[in-house]
Structure 1
């Protein structure tokens, strides 16, 4: 296996990364029908893309992990495959997920990634976790894109943490709305803690 790149590739959960504010204003199923790059998602139709894209922050994180070792797999292709393992529950009215335990089985069996669901994780423990694992996918509030604001709750969104120390956490946010809040965003531990739901999936490659 080739060495990991110093910079982990970034991918948004929408194919055109600067559409976040449109998605927030109009809803994904409306805004993303204007995404000119939608076919890069692996969706078979524009309808499939518009329905799925708001639910695949976890698949965007997985896509980044795989890209760090030279594999590029479209996000909705990943979502379809993960659904086969129970990582998503799809009905006519909703998509529920990401469900962590089936996701762990999926990435282990399909990609050979060593992953572990971790709960009740204190923010202060995260640097030590990253000493043992290459990445962790952290459950945070989507409001982490606005660190100056107080989030209404914690969790509900996933970001890929690539480095952590007592000075700061570096992460890729699949639904960041500016370049500064997308790739290699950095927050002090106390700031990250305001959004962190104390759950994550550690991943080794």
Structure 2
């Protein structure tokens, strides 16, 4: 793979409102219900916020893309409700199925006018080409990509946004990354990414680009 991305720095959003506290939320030393910024999420209660925060990595990725391309950025739980209505999240009591790619892509196109393409098979070479062409890609990785020195037990299950790429690797905006380490434009080699990456995702593009 050759070439490099020219994508400008992409704004960062955590799936928790207090991005500086993500390590505590992940470790369980602080409960999401105690997030001091929970009201920014648009949730009606701290409990509603705490339910959604661990589940909305895809929402955080969408908020980054919306901000990057100059669209309004709704609060996180407000977007989660919209995506639930669109069928991208299916809630059954305390269980949530999703993010379901096709209704998510349809929602992004219909509501925001952005290009969105489901890619059930997206090998590294294609991922590189999409990002170096100026698009952003939600990819499914194991959540432990925030600590890439650790070997994951499996691949996939968590969404991050690929915001830059070159011949050596990618840069990730990770909604559950650790502050100062793996949140914003976190550099990961292609070899390392391959240990976490499930080979699928959703390709996003600026509405000015049109469908491809």
Q: TM-score, normalised by structure 1?
A: 0.92
Mapping of residues 184-195 of structure 1, within 5 Å: 184-195=185-196
Judging changes above 3 Å, is the alpha-carbon distance between structure 1 residues 195 and 80 closer, same or farther for their aligned structure 2 residues? Answer: same
Q: Report the alpha carbon displacement of residue 125 of structure 1 after superposing the two structures with TM.
A: 2.5
Equivalent residue for 1:199?
200
1:68 and 1:120 map into 2 onto residues whose CA distance is 25
Q: More deviation in 62-71 or 106-115? A: 62-71
5+ long unaligned stretches in structure 2: 1-5, 207-212
Equivalent residue for 2:144?
143
Mapping of residues 22-171 of structure 1, within 5 Å: 22-26=24-28, 31-70=31-70, 71-132=72-133, 134-171=135-172
Tell whether the 8 Å contact from 2:140 to 2:198 is kept in structure 1 after alignment.
yes
1:190 and 1:6 map into 2 onto residues whose CA distance is 24
2:123 and 2:157 map into 1 onto residues whose CA distance is 17
Tell whether the 8 Å contact from 2:87 to 2:104 is kept in structure 1 after alignment.
yes
Tell whether the 8 Å contact from 2:132 to 2:164 is kept in structure 1 after alignment.
no
The size of the alignment, in residue pairs, is 200
Tell whether the 8 Å contact from 1:11 to 1:64 is kept in structure 2 after alignment.
yes
1:171 and 1:26 map into 2 onto residues whose CA distance is 24
5+ long unaligned stretches in structure 1: none
1:93 and 1:76 map into 2 onto residues whose CA distance is 16
Q: More deviation in 5-14 or 39-48? A: 5-14
Equivalent residue for 1:172?
173
RMSD, matched Cα: 1.7
Cα displacement string for residues 65-110 of structure 1 (whole angstroms, at most 9, x for unaligned residues): 0111232211111111111110000121211110000001100110
Q: Report the alpha carbon displacement of residue 33 of structure 1 after superposing the two structures with TM.
A: 1.2
Q: Which runs of 4+ in 1 moved over 6 A?
A: none
Q: TM-score, normalised by structure 2?
A: 0.89
Judging changes above 3 Å, is the alpha-carbon distance between structure 1 residues 203 and 133 closer, same or farther for their aligned structure 2 residues? Answer: farther
